[in-house]
Chain A
Amino acid sequence: MKAKIRKIATFVEETRREMDREISPPTRRAAAVAVIENPCAGKYVEDLSELMAIGEELGELLTVRAVAALGIPGPSAESYGKAAAVGENGELEHAAAILHPKLGTPVRRVLGKGAALIPSSKKRGGMGVVLDIPLGHKDAAFVRSHFDGMEVRLNDAPRANEIMVAIAVTDSGRPLARVGGLTKDQIKGEDGLR
């Protein structure tokens, strides 16, 4: 394994009621987060291929953890998202190197499909920084009921020389989605948009 992982955390959220209405079946989201050493911390590194390789590794590991936490087979996942927080001795580009070039392919392999762009966010911050992982339907980015986000946070990460990498997966959209737009039963799933 290329990544030096200090810890892994998983979060599973299940919403059963919203505004005093029952949500049946409950909506569920899971996030898996790895805290890794940043091999490029504290200096300018031109070639970020080491971080790209770490992204590929974590794409698989974290997606497997997230769907396992939901207790569903990968292809049953409905929406997904990714995010990274770089500790103070790193640069935003380190998050980009992990998230963008190679992380997506193994995510899609675990989830069966994934025609849509994986929504993402990134930031630099200190320990306890909050990551809002954006969520969108995995096969059609325009499915409005699945535009969402999941907050994750670890009180002791990222340290200055660390990066926190997160992948979120759901088996559903928002609890009481009712603002119209494309619905999931209308998905064509060809272009990743509709």
Chain B
Amino acid sequence: MPEVVMRKKLTCVEEIFHEGGPVAGKPLRRAAAIAVIRNPFAGAYVEDIEGFMDDLKPLGLEMARTLVAALGGDPKVVEGYGKGAIVGSAGELEHGALWHVPGGYAMREVLGGAKAIVASTKKVGGPGTRLDVPITHINASYVRSHFDAMEVGVNDAPRADEILLALVMTTGARVHARVGGLRAAEIKGEDGLR
């Protein structure tokens, strides 16, 4: 399979102190790691693309480690995660789906065995397209306080023959979470759901 050729990467960290309510004792932090790579399948229909998932694994690990470092270096502070992809106009949505396995398993590996499925989204778009990457709790998808999203994008990407890949991690609940539901303290942690 083709090599992974990266044009640029972007790391974003948000630190949220309040959103009109009481100032949080510990601010919520969200981080996104974005890589803009060449789409080796752009411009034509290619039937066999699956092998590229293996090629993306080292990049997934690099991006997951970048996120942990951006959040202070301790994987234990990470409570939420998500992933996404934007495929440039000469590619197809299915190319974005190649990111599911290498992106998701890289984060699980770096976080030491998170149980929940990694929430994800993808689309085809031009340079500057924004993507709302969904976020859920790393061990139990139903934890309501951790349902969140982070908007990502790069003004000059993806070009037609590129794919923008994103991983996102957060350190906690929404800053003023108060709509009930399963709480992080109640997680059983067996099935990745509750």
Binding site for B on A (CB under 8 A): 5-18, 26, 69, 130, 151, 153-155
> What is the number of contacts between chain A and chain B, taking CB atoms within 8 Å?
52
Find residues 44-103 in chain B having any chain A CB closer than 8 Å to their own CB. Answer: none
The residue from A9, A14, A153 contacting B13, defined by CB atoms under 8 A apart? A9
Question: For residue B66, which residue of chain A has the nearest CB?
Answer: A12
Q: Given A6-B19, A155-B130, A12 and B14 touching (CB < 8 A)?
A: no
Q: How far is the CA of A10 from the CA of B153 in the complex (A)?
A: 14
The residue from B7, B10, B16, B19 contacting A11, defined by CB atoms under 8 A apart? B10
Find residues 128-187 in chain B having any chain A CB closer than 8 Å to their own CB. Answer: 130, 151, 153-155
Q: How far is the CA of A18 from the CA of B7 in the complex (A)?
A: 6
A-B interface, 6 closest residue pairs, ranked by CB to CB distance from nearest? A155-B151, A151-B155, A15-B8, A17-B7, A9-B14, A12-B11
Binding site for A on B (CB under 8 A): 5-19, 130, 151, 153-155
In the assembled complex, the CB of B61 is this many whole angstroms from the nearest CB of chain A, namely 17
In the assembled complex, the CB of B166 is this many whole angstroms from the nearest CB of chain A, namely 13
Q: How far is the CA of A154 from the CA of B9 in the complex (A)?
A: 18
Q: In the bound complex, do residue A6 and residue B5 qualify as a contact, i.e. CB atoms below 8 Å apart?
A: no
In the assembled complex, the CB of B27 is this many whole angstroms from the nearest CB of chain A, namely 8
Question: For residue A14, which residue of chain B has the nearest CB?
Answer: B9
- Chain B positions within 8 Å of A26 at CB level: 8
Q: In the bound complex, do residue B155 and residue A11 qualify as a contact, i.e. CB atoms below 8 Å apart?
A: no
In the assembled complex, the CB of B97 is this many whole angstroms from the nearest CB of chain A, namely 24
Main secondary structure of the interface of B (DSSP, over half): strand
Q: In the bound complex, do residue A16 and residue B10 qualify as a contact, i.e. CB atoms below 8 Å apart?
A: no
Q: In the bound complex, do residue B11 and residue A16 qualify as a contact, i.e. CB atoms below 8 Å apart?
A: no
In the assembled complex, the CB of B43 is this many whole angstroms from the nearest CB of chain A, namely 15
Question: For residue A26, which residue of chain B has the nearest CB?
Answer: B8
Question: For residue A13, which residue of chain B has the nearest CB?
Answer: B10
- Chain A positions within 8 Å of B151 at CB level: 155
In the assembled complex, the CB of B133 is this many whole angstroms from the nearest CB of chain A, namely 12
In the assembled complex, the CB of B15 is this many whole angstroms from the nearest CB of chain A, namely 5
In the assembled complex, the CB of A171 is this many whole angstroms from the nearest CB of chain B, namely 15
The residue from A5, A6, A14, A154 contacting B8, defined by CB atoms under 8 A apart? A14
Q: In the bound complex, do residue B130 and residue A6 qualify as a contact, i.e. CB atoms below 8 Å apart?
A: no
Q: How far is the CA of A7 from the CA of B19 in the complex (A)?
A: 8
- Chain A positions within 8 Å of B5 at CB level: 17
Q: How far is the CA of A154 from the CA of B16 in the complex (A)?
A: 12
Q: Given A151-B155, A155-B130, A155-B151, A7 and B14 touching (CB < 8 A)?
A: yes
Q: How far is the CA of A174 from the CA of B168 in the complex (A)?
A: 28
- Chain B positions within 8 Å of A69 at CB level: 11, 13
